[in-house]
Amino acid sequence: MMPSQPKLIANYHCETGENPLSHPGERRLYWTDIPGGRMFRYDLVTGTHEQIYQGRTVGGFTIQQDGSLLLFMDRGTVACWHDGMITTVIEEIARERNFRFNDVIADPRGRVFCGIVDDNGQKGRLYRLDPDGSFSLLLQNISCSNGMAFSADQKLFYYTDTLSYEIYVFDYDVETGAIGNQRMFARFNEKDGMPDGATLDAQGRLWSALWDGFAVVRLREDGSVAERIELPTAKCRA
């Protein structure tokens, strides 16, 4: 049963804590403080935690097959982090030199869906990075590209546009990585808070962290709120 009370496990006073991701091979949880250019990890076995990175902005990351982390940074840069060593994989995306990545997710075939945002309010985009190193532009004119998830049967793709207060759902083709048939899944308002990070639980239900909402919520198949867990901080991200 899902615990109804949050527990503080680490406190690094992050300006924008983001992208908590479990590393099954290490039994650790990693996350990033985007503006601070820092990354941290928490050991699920020992309960210890530490800062592991200080440098350029990291807006999101995924876990590689060899256990290393693939970092999505500012300027459209992609780099590999392993045991404290950074190796550049993609120098930059020319169009995104004044932007940064924000929230990413790997699909079951190793493609990475990665959002681009601008902290000065310009419209963002959603890309797909394929295993061959090529980028495909999937969506444009996004107010704030954010939380994503794939359904358990790999037929649906959930995508959050934070400043629009909306979460969309697309049909998803796992063979090609294509998304289509965009429709509304859930809509929030100023009183609720803005949907930010997202994840899918073991029962196939989507969770959304609410920016300025003091909570995370579990959504039903129709997008309505089934459960709400209050948190002692207004700006929740995941």
What is the structure's pLDDT at 121?
78
Kindly state whether residue 225 falls inside one of the protein's structural domains. Answer: no
Kindly state whether residue 46 falls inside one of the protein's structural domains. Answer: yes
Of 38-47, 104-113, 117-126, 215-224, minimum mean pLDDT range:
117-126
- Give the 3-state secondary structure of residue 56: coil
Q: Which among 181, 135, 144 is positioned nearest to 166, based on CA atoms?
A: 144
Kindly state whether residue 192 falls inside one of the protein's structural domains. Answer: no
How far separated are the first and last CA of the chain, in Å rounded? 20
Is residue 170's pLDDT more than 90? yes
Kindly state whether residue 2 falls inside one of the protein's structural domains. Answer: no
Kindly state whether residue 151 falls inside one of the protein's structural domains. Answer: no
52 backbone dihedrals φ, ψ, rounded to 5°: -120, -5
Q: What is the CATH number of the domain that holds 112?
A: 2.120.10.30
- pLDDT tens string 42-55: 999 999 999 999 99
- Give the 3-state secondary structure of residue 163: helix
- pLDDT tens string 57-78: 999 999 999 999 999 999 999 9
Mean pLDDT, rounded, for 150-176: 97
What is the structure's pLDDT at 3?
54
Give 3-state DSSP helix, strand, coil % of the chain, rounded to 5. 5, 55, 45
Dihedral sign (CA 110, 95, 211, 27)? positive
Kindly state whether residue 90 falls inside one of the protein's structural domains. Answer: yes
For 44-111, the DSSP string reads TTT--EEEEEESS-EEEEEE-TTS-EEEEEBTT-EEEEETTEEEEEE---GGGTT-EEEEEEE-TTS-
- pLDDT tens string 111-145: 999 999 988 878 999 999 999 999 999 999 999 99
For residue 144 the two structure tokens come to: 């704030």
For residue 96 the two structure tokens come to: 């995104």
Active site amino acids: 196
Q: What is the DSSP letter of 109?
A: T
Is residue 178's pLDDT more than 80? yes
Mean pLDDT, rounded, for 210-216: 96
Higher pLDDT, 25 or 120: 25
What is the structure's pLDDT at 1?
46
Quick one: pLDDT band at residue 236, thresholds 50, 70, 90?
Answer: confident
What's the structural domain count of the chain?
1
Kindly state whether residue 230 falls inside one of the protein's structural domains. Answer: no
pTM comes to 0.95
Of 110-124, 146-160, 195-209, minimum mean pLDDT range:
110-124
For 52, the domain range is 17-142
Kindly state whether residue 100 falls inside one of the protein's structural domains. Answer: yes
